[in-house]
């Protein structure tokens, strides 16, 4: 594509560096901004620079936070005896949306993936172990591993189980089974097989 | 969604104002920026502010331009006797990519759409008529209306034809027919019918 304006070309190139956005979509977005008030572009640009330069990570759970301690870790209405280990902030949001969990989190910041060159030392695993030995020692009773049911997720969960064993805590993982509201015939074989093996007895 | 950080929330809100980007995609993009170098976010923000504040429109054809005259209008290798009228810059890029047109353009900046409240006075129609009376008077022989084959496009083309009639120029429109490379059986009825009515004789 040969652009009529160097400024447009630069903007399209920058926008298309974002994941899932190609040159055509980037051009559509840039042309949209050109049609709107200049203030809209400025507040977009300011919000992006602000979030990148000023966002911190909670020193306890490593979730995104505006302060040293995130709102969840700082709250006295959360159950500090359960820690839910997740891959990233989006998982925290997803679990918070269910309103089914009242404990604390620990955000790994990724998942063990040899393909992408991510090893245990790139993740917040040591800080989890330190947390269990340090300020939260004795308080924590259970660790829930809420990682994606993929090969990378299972590898990370396996590694964590090994590291957590010495602490003699209850370690659990989120249930795998048929999704609620889904038709049984459309469930994949592995999930359906797993849901039979992990069947739950009526009480 | 309740965000762990006000800064993240602000950024997600700003990004999700862009067309076709919802809150989930916006969050994915913001988290992507947080994982990258701070310079990447800064150059994205700077490029957006620069394009919005410094982009001009060519005083002749109203295409986006870094200068008073765009590269196409300023070139002496273009045929000034043909003007191709298009809706916006994306159409200019699409036609330039075909390398089949060597004339000049006139960018309307939109299309007549009563539903969206866009009338003839919101578009660069008067400036087209002034262009034909003013500096380009006598030079232009043909106007090609290259508008989308939709109801709005046809309405705009009809309006333009009426306005252009007094100039006694050749007025044409781009051919409608079956797309090249497409299977005939998948062409819609209207297009196929039109392609039969507008059939081209072998010479």
ipTM value of the model? 0.77
Instruction: Give B126→chain A minimum CA distance, Å.
Output: 20
Looking at chain A, the whole-number percentage of residues with pLDDT higher than 90 is: 58
Per-residue HEC secondary structure of chain B comes to CCCCCHHHHHHHHHHCCCCCCCHHHHHHHHHHHHHCCHHHHHHHHHHHHHHHHHCEECCCCCCEECCCCCHHHHCCCCEEEEEEEECCHHHHHHHHHHCCCCEEEEECCCCCECCCCECHHHCCCHHHHHHHHCCCCCCCCEEEECCCCCHHHHHHHHHHHHHHHHHCCEEEECCCCCCCCCCHHHCCHHHHHHHHHCCCCCC
* Whether residues A169 and A82 fall in one domain: yes
Same-domain pairing of A121 and A164: yes
Q: Which of B31, B44, B71 sits opposite A14 (nearest CB)?
A: B44
Residue A130's domain is classified under what CATH number? 3.40.1360.10
Q: Kindly state whether residue B68 falls inside one of the protein's structural domains.
A: no
For chain A, give the percent of residues with pLDDT over 70. Answer: 99
Residues A82 and A154 in one domain: yes
- For residue B16, give the CATH number of its domain: 1.10.8.420
Residue of chain A with shortest Cα separation from B55: A7
Q: Which of A6, A7, A39 to mutate to test the interface with B (most CBs of B within 10 A)?
A: A7
Whether A163 is in a domain gets the answer: yes
User: Number of A:B CB contacts under 8 A?
Assistant: 181
Question: Within a domain: residue A147?
Answer: yes
Judged against a pLDDT cut of 90, whether residue B4 lies above it is answered with no
In a domain, B202, yes or no: no
Express each pLDDT in A40-91 by its tens digit. 999 999 999 999 998 889 999 999 988 899 989 999 999 999 999 999 888 9
Closest residue in B to A98 (Cα–Cα): B1
Give B 165-194 residues with CB within 8 A of chain A.
none
Same domain for B161 and B87? Answer: yes
A138-185 confidence digits (pLDDT tens): 889 999 999 988 899 999 999 999 999 999 899 999 888 888 877 878
Give chain B's domain count: 2
Same domain, B46 and B117: no
| A99 close contact with B: CB closer than 8 A | no
Q: Are residues A108 and A33 in the same domain?
A: no
For residue B13, what are the domain limits?
A: 6-54
């Amino acid at each position: 594509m040969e652009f009529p304006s160097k400024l447009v070309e630069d903007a399209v190139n920058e926008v298309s560096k974002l994941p899932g956005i190609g040159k055509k979509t980037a051009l559509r977005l840039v042309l949209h901004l050109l049609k709107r008030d200049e203030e809209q572009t400025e507040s977009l640009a300011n919000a992006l620079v602000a979030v990148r330069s000023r966002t911190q990570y909670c020193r306890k759970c490593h979730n995104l936070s505006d302060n040293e301690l995130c709102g969840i870790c700082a709250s006295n209405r959360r159950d500090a005896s359960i820690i839910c280990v997740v891959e990233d902030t989006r998982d925290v949001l997803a679990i918070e949306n269910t309103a089914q969990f009242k404990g604390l989190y620990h955000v790994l910041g990724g998942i063990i993936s040899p393909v992408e060159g991510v090893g245990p030392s790139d993740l917040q695993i040591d800080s989890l172990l330190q947390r269990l030995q340090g300020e939260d020692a004795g308080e924590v009773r259970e660790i829930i591993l809420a990682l994606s049911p993929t090969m990378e997720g299972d590898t990370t969960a396996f590694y964590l189980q090994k590291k957590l064993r010495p602490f003699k805590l209850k370690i659990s993982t989120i249930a795998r089974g048929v999704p609620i509201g889904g038709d049984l015939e459309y469930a994949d074989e592995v999930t359906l097989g797993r849901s039979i093996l992990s069947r739950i007895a009526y009480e």
